Copies of this chain bind each other. A is one copy, B any other.
Amino acid sequence: MRKALAFDIGGTKIYSTVIDETGSIVANIDKFSTPKTIDGIKKILKDQILKYENDVDVIAIATAGAVNNANTAVIGSTGNLVKGYNTVDFQSLSSKKVFLENDANSAAWAEYKVGASRGASVSVMLTLGTGVGGGIIINDKLLKGKSGAAGEMHFKMYSDKRRKCTCGSWDCFEIYASGTALKLDADEMLNDKTVTTYDVIDGVKQGNKTMISILNKWQNDIIIGIKGLVNIFDPDCVVLSGSMAQFTDVKIIEQEVNSDIVTTPTSVRLATAGNYSGMIGVSLLALA
């Protein structure tokens, strides 16, 4: 069976394993802190490639940042990664083919092939974590845009400049739907800048009504954003993934979205492809 040496390169961690063409993980998961230098990142990749290259057919890299349509390079700014990361010549690291895709796109592809959106002609995946990622699949293809940068969830939730987004603009969906957003909701509703995302989640688990109302406000903003996306894409389903997705109530979200759209009803689901969906998705893309 054909196999990929898979990587998931994020701002904090780099993961690596071997994945076969069915999407099964067939080696240990190796985990590294993301180095602050390009040489440091390259060394991790090279060491893993040296170890596994002869056993695999392709090197598949899910990465933060937009990836070009040729799947060979990271384009533009990559947020949390070291400056110049977009100049790395990934193909030079291996004699096998090296295939890149954005991490959220990769995770969306895993959901489509082996997870929650199997069989969907149109699906929208939102990764709710520290930030918000997006991966949209239309008729068996990832929506990449002219340069590979499509699927960015930086549409406005307000037009009168209330919250600065991490992207430098104002009031993007990301800054109302992310884990960071939940903290900001708590800060604003409690007038206390020391409250953390974890405080809110802990409070909700203990049945604290204030914390529940903060979580509901955050979820309501997610609902508002999803309504817009559903009117634009008319998707079969919306998949919620990422570390924050577990704190949403997808049944409530689905019900509220479907009560207030001009398109036809959609299904809202939690992701099922697991924590390594980025590596699984990029491997399935690279092996296709």
Contacts and interface: CB of A to CB of B under 8 A. Distances in A.
Interface of A: 66, 75-77, 120-122, 134, 136, 138-139, 141, 143-160, 167-169, 172, 176, 221, 224-225, 227-229, 231-236, 260-264, 266
Given A232-B150, A262-B167, A264-B76, A227 B155 contact: yes
16 contacts: A122-B150, A136-B232, A146-B264, A147-B263, A147-B264, A149-B234, A149-B263, A150-B263, A152-B234, A154-B227, A155-B155, A155-B228, A168-B260, A169-B227, A172-B231, A229-B232
A122 B149 contact: no
Given A122-B145, A221-B159, A152 B263 contact: yes
Contact of A143 (B134, B138, B145, B158): B138
- Which 9 interchain pairs have the tightest Cβ spacing? A145-B234, A155-B228, A150-B234, A149-B263, A152-B231, A154-B231, A147-B264, A149-B234, A146-B236
Given A260-B169, A264-B75, A231 B146 contact: no
A130 B110 CA distance: 42
Protomer copies = 2
A267 B235 CA distance: 27
Contacts of A224: 156, 159
B152 A262 contact: yes
Nearest to A228: B155
Contacts of A144: 234
A158 B171 CA distance: 10
A168 B29 CA distance: 50
Nearest to A123: B146
Given A153-B231, A264-B75, A146 B122 contact: yes
Nearest to A266: B146
Nearest to A169: B260
Given A146-B264, A168-B260, 6 more contacts: A76-B264, A122-B145, A122-B150, A139-B141, A154-B227, A159-B176
